[in-house]
Amino acid sequence: MTLTSTTAPVTNPTWYGQIRDLFTSVDREHMARLGLDLASYNVMMDHAGNIYQQVAAGNMPRGNPWPADWVGTFLNWMNNGYPKGTPPANATETNFAARSLFSVAAPVGRVRKDITTLSSYELDLLKKAFSALLDKDPSDPNSYFVQAGYHWLPAPNTYCMHHVPGYNPWHRAYLISFENALRSVPGCESVTLPYWDITTPFPDVLKSPPFDQYILPQAVGPKYPEGYVTTRFDYDQIAQNLVQYGVTADINRAMSKTDWEDFHGYWSDADYDTIIAAHDSGHNSIGLTMQHQEVAAFDPVFWFFHCNWDRLFWEWQKKMGATDLHGLLTTINGVSDPLSYQIFNDAALQSLNPFTSNPPELNTLSIIDSVNQLDVDYAPPAAASPVDFLPKTQRTLAASRGFSVEADQVNVRVSGVNRLKIPGSFSVHLQKDGKTIASKALFQPVEVQTCANCVANALAHFDFKLPITAVQGGQLSVWVEPVNKDFIGDRFPQKLMGNPTIEVHLLLETQ
């Protein structure tokens, strides 16, 4: 936090810059008993008048009143329209701060690296551990078969944590489980799981054994018998697909966001063009096994692919000062996105099964601080490209809020797609005059109606941010392409999925 006791209030304070850290953890616990959650932007904004009266009178925080400049700073925040702003680039703890905004630097035992930067020794160790898992008996809990099977098949213990708030927490626990399995191999106790930065070319090392394929030692379903071999598109096609789906653009957009739901995208009506969209489009781009949720984790690239998503989540957390519970909660809109708030605050919703009831026994709280709780950190990628925060843009907002119009860009939303009618993953292609101008994918199982999370989020939407010139002067249309073409061919009839609609919005830029 940057707020210190000075002679004058901060003129233009923001939620992320100063306000969220004005109260100590003791203050927050006290006010929570009175029904006020001071980690919530909406609560703080809605009750700002009452809070101001108490701090101005010296009644709050109890026994530790604010200096006059702090009180004036809070009033300036109110008068300026409660701007959210962005976290400071360099934050320091003050006498009144509840915490340090960034995770305390500490040596960690697991430093995950860009796979293209591994030394020959590190790569040999990884190959040894990976090969050992592939060779283990499929009944062994540390076998590749069991670890990969947690993602969906084999039934009946199918798990799906996609397009829901638990997506990143669940996959972080999943990576720990798999990395622990690698470390169970004698002589490989120090191995770590590297990542593939998907914004760079497909690594050559993943094109050869033991990372190029996996052969099922036993059947996991009628379509996946014993002897099934994982496959991918050819590598030139993968590169083209990643460009077509705009995966790098979605990642960069996500890393420019300040709010939890905007970073992830999809749920709570958030735009579907950030991390979850990049993840889904990445699966679809790599194919063929990776397109199918039932068996995607059996392709060895899955682990390096997902390690990268966890890296990006951690990098975003650090940028946002969200490496502890309070910091993370300050990024979540508990009014429009109550479930995200609840998975960290409600004990009944903190489970990340099967990794809570079984090793590594992690839940949503124990995965928040990757460094201090999990002993995991990430080395920077070979070609680091930091992304700056951008002003928050919305399609609609309350009339009481100030805004400006971003006139050179539009958001095209395809909404009302009933995903339960489409068996398996699929793509939505936005077309102008019959030519595809942008694509997005959605990753899901073929038996989608058996997935509780999918059923709870049945209506999907897809967002395409494009220059206004890209959509002017032509006819827009949508083509939905299922991965599973056996059912109805390569174009899914729109009437069968609920007749989705297209909306074009100018973007409203807020403080």
Q: Are residues 198 and 286 in the same domain?
A: yes
Give the pair of three-digit tokens for residue 189. Answer: 């106790």
At which residue do the structure tokens 């997935």 appear?
A: 451
Compute the distance between CA of residue 488 and CA of residue 77 in angstroms, rounded to an integer.
56
Nearest C-alpha neighbor of 258 from the set 270, 246, 245: 270
Q: Which residues, at least 6 apart from 129, have a Cβ–Cβ distance to it below 8 Å?
A: 182, 183, 185, 188, 191
DSSP secondary structure, 414-475, as one string? EEEEEGGGS-S-EEEEEEETTEEEEEEEE---SSGGG-HHHHHT-EEEEEEEEEHHHHTTS-
Q: How many domains does the chain have?
A: 3
Domain final residue pick, 88, 118, 151: 88
pLDDT given at position 88: 86
Q: Are residues 266 and 181 in the same domain?
A: yes
pLDDT given at position 102: 43
pLDDT given at position 481: 96
* CATH number of the domain enclosing 176: 1.10.1280.10
pLDDT given at position 47: 92
Domain final residue pick, 354, 378, 402: 378
Find out whether 150 and 354 touch, Cβ atoms under 8 Å: yes
pLDDT given at position 25: 84
Let me know if residue 210 belongs to a domain. Answer: yes
Q: How many other C-beta atoms lie within 10 A of the C-beta of residue 134?
A: 18
Q: Are residues 141 and 228 in the same domain?
A: yes
Find out whether 255 and 312 touch, Cβ atoms under 8 Å: yes
pLDDT given at position 98: 41
What letter does residue 66 receive in the DSSP assignment?
P
Angle between helices 301-320 and 275-286 (to 10 degrees): 170
**3-state secondary structure at position 405:** strand
* CATH number of the domain enclosing 479: 2.60.310
pLDDT given at position 103: 43
Let me know if residue 384 belongs to a domain. Answer: no
pLDDT given at position 27: 84
Compute the distance between CA of residue 191 and CA of residue 208 in angstroms, rounded to an integer.
19
Let me know if residue 471 belongs to a domain. Answer: yes
* Chain centroid to CA 417: 22
Q: How many other C-beta atoms lie within 10 A of the C-beta of residue 472?
A: 10
Q: Are residues 158 and 213 in the same domain?
A: yes
Let me know if residue 302 belongs to a domain. Answer: yes
At which residue do the structure tokens 């997506």 appear?
A: 167
Angle between helices 301-320 and 167-183 (to 10 degrees): 120
Domain final residue pick, 378, 406, 432: 378
Nearest C-alpha neighbor of 197 from the set 387, 440, 442, 382: 382
Find out whether 227 and 216 touch, Cβ atoms under 8 Å: yes
pLDDT given at position 101: 41
Find out whether 22 and 5 touch, Cβ atoms under 8 Å: no
What letter does residue 335 receive in the DSSP assignment?
T
* Chain centroid to CA 397: 24
Q: Are residues 19 and 79 in the same domain?
A: yes
Let me know if residue 473 belongs to a domain. Answer: yes
Query: pTM, whole model, 2 decimals?
Result: 0.94
Q: Are residues 21 and 65 in the same domain?
A: yes
Phi, psi of 333 (to 5 degrees): -85, 95
Q: Judge if the upstream peptide bond of residue 141 is cis by omega within 30 degrees of 0.
A: no
What letter does residue 184 receive in the DSSP assignment?
T
Q: Which residues, at least 6 apart from 346, have a Cβ–Cβ distance to it below 8 Å?
A: none
Q: Are residues 260 and 336 in the same domain?
A: yes
pLDDT in tens, 16-53: 999 999 988 888 888 888 888 999 999 999 999 999 99
Let me know if residue 192 belongs to a domain. Answer: yes
Find out whether 122 and 202 touch, Cβ atoms under 8 Å: no
Q: Are residues 399 and 466 in the same domain?
A: yes
Residues of the chain with pLDDT under 50: 1-3, 91-104
Q: Are residues 249 and 358 in the same domain?
A: yes
Element at 401 (helix H, strand E)? none
- How many Å is the maximal CA-CA distance in the chain? 74
Find out whether 418 and 498 touch, Cβ atoms under 8 Å: yes
Q: Are residues 340 and 462 in the same domain?
A: no
Compute the distance between CA of residue 21 and CA of residue 3 in angstroms, rounded to an integer.
9
Q: Are residues 239 and 346 in the same domain?
A: yes
Let me know if residue 105 belongs to a domain. Answer: no
| b/e map 436-458, b = 16+ CB within 10 Å | ebbbbbbbbbbbbeebeebeebe
pLDDT in tens, 106-124: 678 999 999 999 999 999 9
pLDDT given at position 90: 64
Q: Are residues 311 and 399 in the same domain?
A: no
Let me know if residue 98 belongs to a domain. Answer: no
Q: Taken in order 123, 124, 125, 127, is the CA torsion positive or negative?
A: positive
Q: Taken in order 170, 450, 150, 214, is the CA torsion positive or negative?
A: negative
Compute the distance between CA of residue 493 and CA of residue 417 in angstroms, rounded to an integer.
11
Residue 487 domain boundaries: 393-509
Compute the distance between CA of residue 440 and CA of residue 427 in angstroms, rounded to an integer.
6
Find out whether 387 and 380 touch, Cβ atoms under 8 Å: no
pLDDT given at position 508: 86
pLDDT given at position 31: 83
